[in-house]
Structure 1
Amino acid sequence: MMIESNPNLNKTILLAVTMASNFLNPLMGAAVNVALPRIGEELSMSAVGLSWVSMSFLLASSVFLVPFGKISDNWGRVKMFLYSNVLFGFATLFCAFSFSSETLLMGRLLQGIGAAGIFASNMAIVISAFEPHERGKMIGLNVMAVYVGLSIAPVLGGILTESLGWRSLFFINAGAVLLIILAILTKIKAEWAVPDKAKFDIKGTLIYMFSVSGLMYGFSHLPKTEAIVFTLLGIAGLLIFVRYELKHPNPVFEMQLFFKNKLFAFSNLSAFINYAATFAITFVFSLYLQYVKGLSPKEAGFILIAQPVVMAVVASFSGKLSDTKDPRILASLGMGISAAGLLLLTFISKQTPYAYIVFALLILGFGFGMFSSPNTNSVMSSVEKRFLGLASATVATMRTTGMMFSMAVAALSVHVFLGDAKIHAGNLDSFILSMRVIVISFTVLCVIGIFTSLIGRRKTTGN
């Protein structure tokens, strides 16, 4: 039974708070990517080690998203949103004061746990508060906020890193999170929950957490022997998890949604593919522009801004368009355009003109923006109201596991061609070769995604 408590809810303020949260999380991640070379210098980290600054965050998010989605539905979506922001803010300060690579990675893990709760509740709150005919537009605005954060991050991250140091990124973000927490406490007097007295599926949760951790850790360290073992154990664990959840009376994850709801299943698969094929581009090209082209963090940021700026513009109208047009067609079109942008990036070399790089990033950004909002609308509109938290967590899980997979592919390729060495003038050719392997792999993924985006009939539930 759905319990709603929203006396005198100001939807404008609620929308502003959720958009601010969606703005800050990607802002943090993308800004840190630009600062990675400086972080590597101060904390003596290799290229593979630097990849874990992003992957530790994504791993923690992926592991906790599914259980947090269930808890958010049962306990209260606004409560989950509030306490997750508190944890995220604390972890951000922890990162700011980190004195070694180990403490920084620990802080990023804690940030990832907090972000998981935010991702699990944020979109569910938006869907709960707004009417069905408004949802595509509201989703589009929230997705736009993500891309505005991504747009500002490279330049802001570059300027702050050069002028105040990389730690300033975390201090400023922590202050912004504090404002969000105060806004939730004072302005959002509402709650949505689906209380469930059944016992929480702890066993299923633990199987999922260990399986995802093993799979992602192992994949990113291939082809080492122990990495192969971790990868195989992770895959086996996920198969056990699926079998266990199908039989459990109160599963932490409703696997039946994937088997009985084709639109839900393939829209989520498409989300995974799209993020897997695009996320690591910023990481790879941040290193390329600074190590190969010799740009400063600020200069690299001005080039990397091209992709997310277009994402923000396109996502705002593609979300609204998905209220009247079949979102599957829009998402598939976006995936195809993304594939074209990635194909252009496969020809990168030491001499590639900046204009060519910017043009390719613009194409990639247009495709991603065209895909994301309609895809999210497809997922959230395909389930009943009681599953909104779970659906929000699921699409966020696909996003973060896709990002994690993207970074794992990048780390694997870099490790194969560079080993554990730092990037320097003597191995730039090997680094560029690893980049090409990465981008070609991503292009193939996007081509597959064109077809998965089209599968499943359009379905509305009247949520």
Structure 2
Amino acid sequence: MPNPSPDARRAVLFMTMIAAFATPFTLGAINIALPSMALDLELTPAQMGWVSLSFLLAACALLIPAGRAADIYGRRRVFIIGYYIFTIASILCALSATGPLLLAARVLQGLGGALFFGTSVAILTAVTPKENRGRALGWVAASVYTGLTAGPFLGGILSAVFGWRAVFWANVPLGMIVLFLAARLRTEWKGPEGEKLDIPSSALYAVSIVLLMLGLSGVLKTLSVPLAAAGAGGLWYFMRREARAAHPVFHSELLFDNPVYAWSSFTALLNYSASFAIGFILSLYLQYARGLSPVQAGLLLAVQPVFMAVFSPLAGRLSDRRAPGGIASAGMGVTAAGILMFIVAGPSTPVPYLALALAVLGFGLALFSSPNTNAAMSAVEPRRYSVAYAALSTMRLTGQMFSMALVLLIFSMVLGKTRLGPGDAEGLLTSMRLAVIIFSVMAAAGIFTSLRRRRPAPVEMTA
């Protein structure tokens, strides 16, 4: 495949940055708009959590099969299909009249997201020279965090002025821009010819992921353990089946024969398990326990992603020159400290202290994200970029789902089916402190898993 022109590289970077912005923007905006959604659609605390969790569950179930399909049929083609689905599902979310309809549309959004999550960064990695890869990934990470910054702030404004449905309508113009840029690309990126997608293994993987996360979430209390066990067993059988398959959906050697990639992936799992639900629970804390408006809460929560957006490109550029694993390890340490600072949050905690804790957390996540991705992707052959990044994204989304599932489990134990409101601040604070302790331990564990890897030997082969 000929080397892409500088204009093509810039177009791919711009397209990837916009796509990277959209999903976290929606997730951040939803966190702020949740109280309005709950009032309008009469959602319980558990259903409020599932507005985010349903999207993540659907995306995670399809990510690895979608990445494999992109390597076989073309990354650009799969990306475009996925973004069409995501944009149409955003319209359906905005038109939803009941909670179940909203959750169904969110599932469809997640399926579309799975098709473009892995493919966009795989295309970017394929067209970017190795010496500039960390910087490019840093800009993508900055776009993610810019989305998280704009999400709470703009979500609060959109929700207050136009209603919560405007959060989803905002995805439509973004989708049109991304699809226009993708359609202008004339090159297709894919792996070796002649390989086939293993449909039965893909279905086995998707069903196993769904069962595992349903079990861990505790949404079906009496069936939680059987569901989780069935999901874990299904994933074990999936890995055994893949080891013998002629055209595996997931190449198990990425985890078992590539320690840099394996430890990078596992550390990503711990990082997102520890950090993702912090924004969700802080949004409820600020509005229910502190009495802030959606706009005020959004402005305060924006401190974290602002720091992430500012420092991610610098961390990515640094990872082109220094061992990325060491930078990511330092990021995990700062992340653990930032999370632990919320242990003292209460009804009268000074707002500047909360802003400082969010800044520390944002700085730690910036140090971790792009260096960790750079370390993982630099240890992978180009022909496996899509499925490798899909697997890395699966670790991220699994961590996010586990983080939300843990908070929902804590809510179930502490609050039961009580509808959240200003009168339930004490139960919310108890839930929050318990979550902070668990998340801090997870982040601290990630320091040691990150240090287990070594800088990879360069892997550069023809895509």
**TM-score using structure 2 length:** 0.97
Partners of 2:4 and 2:334 lie apart in 1 by 41
| Contact 1:72 1:389 (8 Å CA) reproduced | yes
Distance 1:82-1:6 versus aligned 2 partners, 3 A rule: farther
> Partner letter of residue 163 of structure 1?
V
Partners of 2:2 and 2:96 lie apart in 1 by 41
Partners of 1:388 and 1:416 lie apart in 2 by 41
Alignment-derived partner of residue 321 in structure 1: 318
SS in 1 for 2:189: strand
Q: Where do residues 376-415 of structure 1 align in structure 2 (5 Å cutoff)?
A: 376-415=373-412
Partners of 2:403 and 2:314 lie apart in 1 by 27
Alignment-derived partner of residue 215 in structure 1: 212
Cα-to-partner distance string for 1:43-101 (whole Å, 9 max, x where unaligned): 00011110000000000110000000100111111111111110000000000100000
| Contact 1:4 1:192 (8 Å CA) reproduced | no
**Which deviates more from structure 2 when the two are superposed, residues 142-151 or residues 171-180?**
171-180
Q: Find the partner of 2:54 among 53, 56, 59.
A: 56
Partners of 1:49 and 1:389 lie apart in 2 by 33
**Which deviates more from structure 2 when the two are superposed, residues 225-234 or residues 121-130?**
225-234
**Which deviates more from structure 2 when the two are superposed, residues 233-242 or residues 27-36?**
233-242
Partners of 1:421 and 1:4 lie apart in 2 by 60
Partners of 1:212 and 1:275 lie apart in 2 by 17
Q: How many residues align?
A: 460
Distance 1:191-1:9 versus aligned 2 partners, 3 A rule: farther
Q: Find the partner of 1:77 among 40, 63, 75.
A: 75
> Partner letter of residue 139 of structure 2?
L
Alignment-derived partner of residue 204 in structure 1: 201
SS in 2 for 1:383: coil
Alignment-derived partner of residue 242 in structure 1: 239
1:181 aligns with 2:175: no
Partners of 1:425 and 1:438 lie apart in 2 by 20
Alignment-derived partner of residue 348 in structure 1: 345
> Partner letter of residue 148 of structure 1?
T
Q: CA RMSD in A?
A: 1.4
| Contact 1:75 1:195 (8 Å CA) reproduced | no
Alignment-derived partner of residue 370 in structure 1: 367
| Contact 1:222 1:228 (8 Å CA) reproduced | no
Partners of 1:39 and 1:5 lie apart in 2 by 48
> Partner letter of residue 391 of structure 2?
T
Partners of 1:8 and 1:227 lie apart in 2 by 52
SS in 2 for 1:279: helix
SS in 2 for 1:325: coil
SS in 2 for 1:352: coil
Alpha-carbon deviation of 1:445?
0.3
Cα-to-partner distance string for 1:114-149 (whole Å, 9 max, x where unaligned): 111111201101011111111111111111111111
Alignment-derived partner of residue 161 in structure 2: 163
Alignment-derived partner of residue 26 in structure 1: 24
Identity of aligned residues (%): 39
| Contact 2:72 2:197 (8 Å CA) reproduced | no
Alpha-carbon deviation of 1:8?
8.3
Cα-to-partner distance string for 1:386-438 (whole Å, 9 max, x where unaligned): 11111111111111111111111111111110112211344321111111111
Q: Where do residues 60-459 of structure 1 align in structure 2 (5 Å cutoff)?
A: 60-185=58-183, 187-221=184-218, 224-459=221-456
> Partner letter of residue 155 of structure 2?
G
| Contact 2:3 2:127 (8 Å CA) reproduced | no
Partners of 1:10 and 1:380 lie apart in 2 by 21
> Partner letter of residue 461 of structure 1?
V
Partners of 1:452 and 1:4 lie apart in 2 by 38
Partners of 1:374 and 1:6 lie apart in 2 by 24
Distance 1:361-1:207 versus aligned 2 partners, 3 A rule: same
Unaligned 5+ segments in structure 2 are none
Partners of 1:201 and 1:300 lie apart in 2 by 46
| Contact 2:89 2:105 (8 Å CA) reproduced | yes
Distance 1:4-1:81 versus aligned 2 partners, 3 A rule: farther
SS in 1 for 2:344: coil
SS in 1 for 2:202: helix
Distance 1:159-1:93 versus aligned 2 partners, 3 A rule: same
Distance 1:90-1:57 versus aligned 2 partners, 3 A rule: same
> Partner letter of residue 165 of structure 1?
G
SS in 2 for 1:193: coil
| Contact 2:273 2:400 (8 Å CA) reproduced | yes
Alpha-carbon deviation of 1:353?
1.5
**TM-score using structure 1 length:** 0.97
Alpha-carbon deviation of 1:4?
6.2
Alpha-carbon deviation of 1:208?
0.9
Q: Find the partner of 1:36 among 16, 23, 34.
A: 34
| Contact 1:4 1:193 (8 Å CA) reproduced | no
Unaligned 5+ segments in structure 1 are none
| Contact 2:192 2:383 (8 Å CA) reproduced | no
Distance 1:199-1:125 versus aligned 2 partners, 3 A rule: closer
Distance 1:214-1:223 versus aligned 2 partners, 3 A rule: closer
Alignment-derived partner of residue 14 in structure 1: 12
| Contact 1:4 1:191 (8 Å CA) reproduced | no
Alpha-carbon deviation of 1:189?
1.7
Partners of 1:5 and 1:56 lie apart in 2 by 40
Partners of 2:423 and 2:140 lie apart in 1 by 44
Distance 1:183-1:196 versus aligned 2 partners, 3 A rule: same
Alpha-carbon deviation of 1:453?
0.6
Alpha-carbon deviation of 1:252?
0.3
> Partner letter of residue 90 of structure 2?
T
**Which deviates more from structure 2 when the two are superposed, residues 321-330 or residues 222-231?**
222-231
> Partner letter of residue 460 of structure 2?
G
**Which deviates more from structure 2 when the two are superposed, residues 382-391 or residues 223-232?**
223-232
Partners of 1:172 and 1:213 lie apart in 2 by 29
Alpha-carbon deviation of 1:351?
1.8
**Which deviates more from structure 2 when the two are superposed, residues 418-427 or residues 114-123?**
418-427
SS in 1 for 2:170: helix
